[in-house]
Amino acid sequence: MHYVYVLHSKKDKQLYVGCTNNLKKRFTLHNAGKVLSTRLRTPLTLAHYEAFISEKDAFLREKWLKTGWGRNQLRTMLPESLKILAGI
CB 6 within 8 A of CB 61: no
pTM of the shown model: 0.93
Supply the pLDDT for residue 30.
97
Supply the pLDDT for residue 78.
92
Supply the pLDDT for residue 85.
87
Q: Could you list the pLDDT tens digit for every one of the 88 residues in the chain?
A: 999 999 999 999 999 999 999 999 999 999 999 999 999 999 999 999 999 999 999 999 999 999 999 999 999 999 999 888 888 5
Domain with 54, as residue range(s), is 2-86
CB 58 within 8 A of CB 66: no
The CATH number given to whatever domain includes residue 41 is 3.40.1440.10
The domain tally of the chain equals: 1
CB 71 within 8 A of CB 15: yes
